[in-house]
Structure 1
Amino acid sequence: MNRDLAVTNPEAWPIQPYVDPGAQQPEMGPTLDLRSVLHILREWRWLILATVAAGIALAVVYTVLTTPMYRASVILQVNPPTVEILDEESGDRSNDPAPWDFVATQVGLLSSRSLAERVAQDLNLANNPNVVDQESDPAQRLKSATDVVAGGLTVVPPDQGQLISFSYDSESPVLAAQVANGLAEGFINSNLQRRYESSAYARNFLERQIAKTRGDLEKSERQLVSYAQQQGIINTATDQGSSPLSTDANSPTGQSLGDTNRALSEATARRVAAEGAYRAAQNSGVTSTETASSQALRQSRAALEGEYQQKRTLMKPEHPEMVSLRSRIAELDRQVSRENSNVAAGRVNALRNDYQAAVAAENALRGRVSQLKGDVLNLRGRSIRYAILQRDVDTNRALYDALLQRYKEIGVAGGIGTAPVSIVDRADPPGAPFKPNLMLNLIVGLTLGFLAGLLAAIALEYLNDTIKDREDIRTKLGLACLGVVPKRPAKGDFVEDLRDPTSGVAEAYSTIAASLGFSTESGVPRVLLLTSSRPGEGKSSSALALAQNYSRRGQSVLLIDCDLRKPAFKSPSDDIGLTKLLTNHEPISGHISPTHFENLSLLASGPVPPNPADLLATGRFQAIVREASSLFDIVIIDAPPVIGLADAPLLAAMVKDVMFVIEAGKTRTSVAREAIGKLQAAGAHILGATLTKATGRHSAYGYGYGYGYGYGYGYGYGEKYGAVDKNRTSIALIPNQSDA
């Protein structure tokens, strides 16, 4: 057998982590997705069913033990106040809250303890033996009755609108309706009482303000009258609210000044007219027709002029009679002219006298106006203080009138307007209890039981974060799953299962053997090491099953038991075995024993040495592996567990190709990761992982370590490693040996 060894020169092996670039990186922690939830539901279905049954049972027990409760409901309508306190002309309205704020306030008042105490007093619940214990004092009974009323009240504020619904719960349907209606009536009465008290307080306040304002008004009026008497100010204005400075006609001096001004204006007009007539008379003189006394002379002249013209046709102007007529006419003209001159001079004198009289009257009135102006100005200066006092009087009078008006209207406002609260629906005694509700309790119990069971299952699942299936190996460890070995029946023999190619165990290991053929470029590794994170995971059984599977195919296989602390396979003699080979340089052929299986040989561990790790760390083991691979087609090494021991990492560093064995549902993810990390740090090439005992609980199968010194993993495992237990049972593979 001159085939190349799978194990290369040991001196060229660096002890460094091996990273498979094609391997999927493990997740940092457990994830919860739909697949995980379905897996949890399937794995922990009995726990979930038990919690659901417990929830339903508790719901039934709660329903049976719960005292029936009756609920009586009342619907109230609240109406925000809209009464106006002042008149519309002033524009001042009552400061009413917004409707929603008012409704929220009413909800708070309905839930108040004062209302509960009022209802307890109105209904005399303190003396009702069905409500409170009658052995305590009256004050304590009233307090207890108030607690009963407040404890059973439930107020539902409206989402919109102005309807408030509240209910009262009690063990008695009659008491429930009685208290609910009592709460509604007491709430309405308390609102009316608060409204009356508010109006009474406002009236008392206004009475005090009116009395004070009345005193201020009287005081200001006395000051005004006293000052007017001192200064001699007489105000004749009909409007008492007008200011004395608004017009000067309010005083006698002002009235006199006005009258004198009007008289002065008339005198000035008369003077102007007289002056015009006088100047016209001076300039134009007086015509004959303007004087009555010369009228007869003008008539005589006209008669003579007519006679002269008549005789002129008969006589010449030189005629004496004609000359006489002309003389008489000229004399009449002189008489008319003289008469007119006399009349004109008399008229001019008369007009001059009228003009002079008008000027004198005008000057007299003008002097009187100047005097009155000075008096008015003097009065105006003295009236400034009077005006100030008058304004005080007017202000106090207006304030007094407003307070009187408000006082009158506030009394009306306390008794009119829409009622703030009214009852829409009264409470009737309920015909059936609203609690307990069996169907609702069953639904709640079932839901809570299912949720509790699911949460407990998830907690147990992740508190016991173990490797359970192929997906866990890929996602949590980043390794390929070479195969899954099912749990074998409790009865029967493992070796017999391997002999039957149709058994589930044999089929599973055939699949693993086929997967190993694709794990490397050259096929099945010449030297393969099997290990696990902890004892009892089926590592030794897997080593035997794989060796038997390859030997059944006609390949020569050597199974080496490298667990020098607790061997898994029986040795025919303590004089042969791996321990002996590690301490000498004998050929391995003298220490190899045949087994029950054709083409399968066993190199047992031999006697337990005091220093297994030191023996395995020497170069002698490398030589043994090299010699064994030259004699057999396949060498399978059963190594100790990784956690707590240095043996497996030392062996993995020499062999390189490692198959990791995991017990389904038992090996924790953190423990497996730690073991894989140790192997990779030693430079091992982990081909993949095999999942054993893949159906729930399994029998104790494999090792029963009992070493004298312990290794605590921090995960709940505490194995003891030491001398081999004399009562320990090993797998018998040597012919003519009975199984223990």
Structure 2
Amino acid sequence: MNSPVRPDRPWQRSTSTDDSDFIDLKKIWHAVWSRKWGIVLLVAVVAVLMAVLLSRMTPIYKAVTSVIIEVKGTPVVSFQPANAPTEVSEYLQTQLSLIQSRGVAEKVVRDLELTEHPEFDLRQQPGPLIDIGGMLDAIMGEEPEPLTEAQIMDHATQVFMDRTTVWVEGKSQLVYLSVAMADKLMAAQAANHLATSYIEAQLEAKVEMSMTAASWMNTRLVDLRQNLKDSEDRLQAYLDAEGLVDMDGVGTISANELSLTGDRMIDARRQRAEAESQFRQVESMRDQGWERLASVPAVLGHPLIQQFKADRAHARSRVEDLSRRYGDRHPAMQSARSDLNAATASLRQQVEQVVASIERSYQLAVANENSLRASFNDNKEQIQDISRKEFKVRDLQREVEANRALYDTFMTRLQETTATSDLSSTNARIVDEAIPPAQASEPNTRLFMVVALFLALVVGIAQAIIREILDNTFKSSDEVETKLNLPVMGIVPQVPRNLRKQVSHLFQRNEEKRFCEAIRTIRTNITLTEGNQPRQVLVVTSTAPGEGKSSVSANLAFAMGQLNRVLLIDADLRRATLDQTFEFAPGTPGLANLIGGNAKLDDCIRSVGNVDMISAGTVPSNPLELLSSPRFAKLLEAVKGRYDRIIIDSPPSQAVSDAAVLSILADAVIYVIKSESTLIPHAQKGVAQLLQSNAPVAGVVLNHVDVEKAKRNGQFRGYYDHYGYSEQTV
């Protein structure tokens, strides 16, 4: 939001309030650019120091050997069993650890005699700058203990391990081994020897494993041989105890006998069943007479029974035939009856014999069945016993066969291990041997220099930005009007260095057009703000010494002298400059002499061009009392009648209280601020003290402004608005 321009202050510019969250990159760039030479100097100093440091550093050369490590090496002679597969990444990590192991490092140190090399020998290493332990031993009169071989070897090994680096190339099986040393020839030799020592260690480990395995198998083979002999002895002892020769033959015979006995027992059972059936038929009809028995199918079917029955029937048929012709006592009849009785008796006898034969057959069938059953049971028990013995024999035989197979396997593996122990191959081989490097790997001069210069540049830029942030001084008219709430009556540009000693004479001599125009602008602004009541007495003061109030007072006096009668009074009795600037004669009376009554006014006035001047005179011991005395007020009243403008060069407001005393007698106070030098809090305090004394502070003059820098910061137009001319008119 822009603040309005006050109509009674034509010199005031419209100001704007910036957003506190807005980062002004242009302002940052100008802050850096304004301090560019300091940044360049810092970068140059850092570059020189880094160059000196790098030149004093010992170059380190890194020799690299490449080795391929296959997950499963190609064996010279392949035997079973095969090893289980291993993850490639885990295997390579294990091999990397083995390469960097202490055992391999010690072998390299021992073989190359690195304990005698200056980079590894503990006895040749520089000691600490302040050896407290050695100093204590010297004070106590104790001799330091000599280094042992173990300590020297341990130190050399540790240093070699620290200088060894191993890494894998991507996802391949190619491994790189590097050794960093100041001696590039020894670095290459050490890298190659490290790879060779690793491969030899792998071979030695495999040979040692083979020998250990052979020794273990020899010991185990003795136990297996004894186990085989014991199992064979147990089998033979059992065979001898049981009287067994051929278990297969005995078992076969017993099985055949059991099968035949079973078949015969089946037949006997069938025969016994048939005999029992006939016996049951006969037994059930025994009480019904022999004739009833003769009708039984088992009896009736007998051939003799049928024949005797036929004979009986024939005899009966003859009797019946004869009975129809003869009587009972007829000899033929009696002979026929005698034949019938004989045939009946023979039939009865034969039936009884057949019945008895059926009973005997049944008894024999039962006896035969029982005998065969007993024989079958005996054969079955015998076979079961043989089976049990066979199982025992088979168990003993399996034990013998298992022990013999294990013994044969161990014997074969032992022979293979013994025969191939010197044929072991490693799965690692050197691809490229290390050669002495042509360039040092450390220090990386280019990288270190670039990083150092970059950091120096960053630090320089950061320092410039921080200084800009912490710079609590006035750099523009906007800051003056905002911080002090006073109008800027003029902006005085910075003059070239060759003119700074004569800065108080610039307007008088009309040198440095830009400076002279700035003084005219101040004169114009003072005139415009007077209105109908001119400001006759002007007091020019500042916050602290060195801000240019005296040069502003002198040049403003010459500027106003072109229009009015002007008197310039040097009231800075403690640090007078007027007499030295304008080369007054030594001992020239001045203001201190007038107030003290030691000189007259006309004797103290010196004319320089169109301006009359009163110097400070003899420096008194009590300047504040002199300026506060009524004599000084009377002096001002006296000179007011003679001059249109009285300009008083006052002491700084923050240094002493003289400015506050002088401001009471003034019609206007001009406050001079040195650009980029006067601290804002100090200026605020100085202005506040003057306002508390009711001093008529008319405005501020911003002195010693770097116009070119202001132009780069975007403030050029504002400054030249005050000057009233363009750059081409300069």
Report the TM-score, using the length of structure 2 for normalisation. 0.54
The answer to whether the 8 Å contact 1:301/1:329 transfers is: yes
1:540 matched to 2:550? yes
Q: Tell me the secondary structure at the aligned position of residue 671 of structure 2.
A: strand
CA contact (8 A) 2:545 2:652 kept: yes
- Residue equivalent to 2:277: 280
- 1:516-535 map, 5 Å: 531-532=541-542, 534-535=544-545
User: Within 2, Cα distance between the matches of 1:102 and 1:467?
Assistant: 64
Contact between 1:115 and 1:183, CA under 8 Å: does it hold in 2?
Answer: no
Tell me: CA distance 1:428–1:188, structure 2 relative to 1, closer, same or farther (3 Å). closer
Matching of residue 190 in structure 1 with residue 197 in structure 2: yes
- More displaced stretch, 622-631 vs 215-224: 622-631
Determine the C-alpha separation between the residues in 2 that align with 1:333 and 1:516.
Answer: 196
How far does the alpha carbon of each residue in 1:68-89 deviate from its partner, in whole angstroms, 9 at most, with x for none? 9999875443323457999877
Specify the SS of the correspondent of 1:424. Answer: strand
Q: 1:157 aligns with which of 167, 178, 189?
A: 167
The answer for the alignment partner of 2:431 in structure 1 is 424
Partner residue in 1 for 2:673: 661
Aligned to 2:68: 77
Residue equivalent to 1:692 = 704
CA spacing shift, 1:575–1:393, aligned 2, 3 Å: farther
Match of 2:361 in 1: 350
Q: 1:191 to 1:611 in 2, by over 3 A?
A: same
- Bigger helix share: 2
Partners of 1:526 and 1:414 lie apart in 2 by: 120
**Residues 632-688 of structure 1 deviation map (CA, whole Å, 9 limit, x = unaligned):** 998866443466656568889999977352266xx4xxx825633643674759966
Label 1:497 to 1:283 Cα distance change in 2 as closer, same or farther (>3 A).
same
Q: How many residues are matched?
A: 605
The answer as to 2:569 corresponding to 1:565 is no
Aligned pairs for 1:451-530 within 5 A:
470=475, 483=491, 485-488=493-496, 490=498, 493-499=502-508, 500=510, 503-510=513-520
Q: CA deviation at 1:488?
A: 3.5
- SS in structure 2 of the partner of residue 610 of structure 1: coil
Query: Which aligned pairs between 1:273-312 and structure 2 lie closer than 5 A?
Result: 273=270, 276-283=273-280, 286-287=297-298, 290-294=301-305, 296=307
**Whole-angstrom CA distance in 1 between matches of 2:478 and 2:663:** 20
**Residue from 638, 646, 651 that aligns with 1:640:** 651
> 1:555-593 CA distances to partner (integer Å, 9 max, x unpaired)?
887766453311333499998748977x99xxxx99996
**Which residue is equivalent to 2:330?**
none
Report Cα offsets for 1:26-59 as digits up to 9, x if no partner: 99xxx994433333225665x4796599699979
User: In structure 2, what is the Cα distance between the partners aligned to 1:103 and 1:228?
Assistant: 52
Gaps of 5+ in 1: 1-5, 7-19, 127-138, 239-248, 309-314, 697-740
Give the Cα separation in 1 of the matches to 2:690 and 2:344.
177
The answer (yes or no) to whether the contact 1:228–1:234 under 8 Å persists in 2 is: no
Secondary structure of the residue aligned to 1:543 is: helix
CA gap 1:265/1:171 in 2 versus in 1, 3 angstroms: same
User: Aligned partner of 1:100: which letter?
Assistant: L
Q: Which amino acid aligns with 1:692?
A: H
User: Is 2:109 aligned against 1:100?
Assistant: no
* 1:370-401 alpha-carbon deviations (Å, 9 max, x no partner): 99999999999xx9xxx9x9999999989877
**Cα distance 1:226–1:470, how it changes in 2: closer, same or farther (>3 A)?**
same
Q: Bigger CA drift: 113-122 or 193-202? A: 113-122
CA shift, 1:263, in A, is 10
Matched, 1:35 2:30: yes
Q: Are the structure 2 counterparts of residues 40 and 299 from structure 1 closer, same or farther at C-alpha, using a change threshold of 3 Å?
A: farther
**Shift, 1:98, TM fit:** 2.6
Shift of 1:545: 3.3
Residue 486 of structure 1: how far off its partner (Å): 1.6
Provide the C-alpha distance between the structure 2 equivalents of 1:427 and 1:458, rounded to a whole number of angstroms: 46
Amino acid at match of 1:661: I
Secondary structure (helix, strand or coil) at the match of 1:679 reads helix
Task: Assess if the C-alpha contact under 8 Å between 2:672 and 2:702 holds in 1.
Answer: yes
Conservation of the 8 A alpha-carbon contact between 1:55 and 1:445: no
C-alpha distance in structure 1 between counterparts of 2:552 and 2:70, whole Å: 86
* 1:715 corresponding residue in structure 2: none
- Does the 8 A contact of 2:167 with 2:175 survive in 1? yes
C-alpha deviation, 1:198, in angstroms: 1.4
Residues 469 and 228 (structure 1), Cα distance of their counterparts in 2 relative to 1, 3 Å cut: same
Contact persistence 1:83–1:94 (CA under 8 A):
no
Identity of aligned residues (%): 16
Q: CA deviation at 1:509?
A: 3.7
Task: After TM superposition, list the pairs within 5 Å mapping 1:720-739 onto structure 2.
Answer: none
Q: Which has the higher contact order (CA 8 A, sep 6+)?
A: 1
Q: Secondary structure at the match of 1:358?
A: helix
Assess, with a 3 A threshold, how the Cα gap between structure 1 residues 560 and 54 changes in structure 2: closer, same or farther.
same
Contact 1:567 1:605 in 2 (8 A): yes
Is the 8 Å Cα contact of residues 530 and 661 (structure 1) preserved in structure 2? no
CA distance, structure 2, for counterparts of residue 332 and residue 211 of structure 1: 102
What is the SS of the residue equivalent to 1:157? strand
| Letter aligned with residue 280 of structure 1 | S
Query: C-alpha deviations, 1:597-637, integer Å up to 9, x for none?
Result: 76x77676565443456777899999999999999998866
Residues 333-482 of structure 1 aligned to structure 2 (within 5 Å): 339=350, 342-359=353-370, 362=373, 407=414, 419-425=426-432, 434=439, 470=475
Structure 1 residues 367 and 403, CA, compared in 2 at 3 Å: closer, same or farther?
A: closer
1:218-257 aligned at under 5 Å gives the runs none
TM-aligned CA distance change 1:303 to 1:629, over 3 Å:
farther
Distance 2:428 2:498 in 1: 80
**Structure 2 unaligned blocks of 5 or more:** 1-7, 9-14, 119-148, 282-295, 327-332, 709-730
Using the alignment, how far apart are the partners of 1:624 and 1:467 within structure 2? 40
**C-alpha distance in 1 between matches for 2:534 and 2:422:** 106
The CA RMSD over aligned residues, in Å, is 7.7
Q: CA deviation at 1:101?
A: 1.1
- In the TM superposition, residue 421 of structure 1 has moved relative to its aligned partner by 3.1
Give yes or no for contact 2:39–2:461 (8 Å, CA) kept in 1.
yes
Quote the offset at 1:419 in angstroms. Answer: 4.2
* Residue identity opposite 2:427 in structure 1: P
Shift of 1:205: 2.9
TM-score calculated relative to the size of structure 1: 0.54
Larger Rg: 2
Classify the secondary structure of the residue corresponding to 1:487: coil
2:208 aligned residue: 201
